[in-house]
Amino acid sequence: MATPVPAVRDVVTEARRLYEQSFGSSPEVVVCAPGRVNLIGEHTDYNDGFVLPMALALVTVVVGSPDPSQAVTVVTANKDVEEPRRVDFYLPNDGSTLSPGQPGWANYVKGVVQHYRASPLPGFKAVIASTVPLGGGLSSSASLEVAMYTFLQQLQPDDGDKVAKAVACQQAEHSHAGVPCGIMDQLVSVLGQEAHALLIDCRSMEATLVPLSDPSVVILITNSNVRHKLTGSEYPTRRKQCMEAAAILGKRSLRDATLQELEDARGRMDQVTYRRALHVIQEIQRTVQGAEALKRGLYEEFGKLMVDSHNSLRDLYEVSCRELDELVSAAMEVKGVYGSRMTGGGFGGCTVTLLQAHVVDRAILHMQERYSGTPTFYVTTPSEGARVLSLS
């Protein structure tokens, strides 16, 4: 059966308890930011394209207090990260850079501190607790970055520009985690709204709300529990291939290319580069069509686009894997399932399935029977973005 999503207040309770154990006092600030699932539009964000994610009820919570010194101490409650689970460092007060280092999880914190858009920041003590699974393609990293930025806003307010906040968090991931991610994850973690997906134009950063509140329809996330690392060679390689294709086409990015222009230039690029570009150009089209279908309640049409997206990610972009293919195939065998696809960077992580609410249990049972591994299931609906919580 589906794994219940822990209530945010329970995550806060866990974080507060660890804070009091670690520092001998109570925190003054508590915030959270959600993970996300992308319904369609994969590997389009760094090509200036469109994406259609939604914020999840799975969140990262940060509790903490300012410190009068320049000292920073951060403790994570997450037992899946590399040791140590406590880091201490000093804020640079001479304009120098806060260098990344070990443990790796702390680099997301350091990156956000480095790119924070107001000064001077005080030192602080903080505890992080999260329900977003690591390496599952549900954006645990952006959830942590946005939660940490939201926490810093309570210590030293910035100008409140939400898009600039997302960009600063993206820069943190580029500079300190070494992941050349697009803007989607951070934007939806900042801008997410209950009962809505977001159609995001990754060039203009405009986000359009797409209603997704029909009680007869739910989103099923299935974690393959196969871990992936986007800092491996594959993600940067895909980005490079897309840039090469755009250059051959004489375009700023693949967002500006048409299928006809790609076909005309096919003889001037190798077959792998052609396949990468073909996926991106078609996926951008699918995402726009998918948003329109959802707005109109055309779930079967949206489901078909999801399956087309998965097949393209498997065959043209080559970022799927056996486990994800198994889960998608199993889901599509169940009557009442509209569509299913891998979501996230690929090579493991999660699938996302749109289905009728009354067939959820049947779908889960069938996928468990057909899958060779041990999956984890979450039934979810669109949730709210980053926010400050009450300590009471």
Residues annotated as catalytic (active site), given as ranges: 185
Residues 224/227/229/234 CA torsion (nearest 10 deg):
-50
Give the single-character DSSP code of 134.
T
Using CB atoms within 10 A of its CB, is residue 166 exposed (0-12), middle (13-18) or buried (19+)?
A: buried
Instruction: Return the H-helix or E-strand segment holding 376.
Output: strand 376-380
Q: Three-class SS of residue 132?
A: coil
Among 299, 315, 279, residue whose Cα is nearest residue 356: 299
Token pair of 84, please?
Answer: 């140590």
Among 319, 316, 331, residue whose Cα is nearest residue 280: 316
Q: What strand order describes the sheet that includes 376-380?
A: 337-343, 350-356, 217-223, 376-380
In three-state form (DSSP H/G/I as H, E/B as E, the rest C), the secondary structure along 26-86 is CCCEEEEEEEEEEEECCCCHHHCCEEEEEEEEEEEEEEEEEECCCEEEEEECCCCCCCCCE
- In the chain, the N- to C-terminal Cα span, in Å, equals 33
Could you tell me if 43 and 64 are in contact, meaning their C-beta atoms sit under 8 angstroms apart? no
Could you tell me if 362 and 336 are in contact, meaning their C-beta atoms sit under 8 angstroms apart? yes
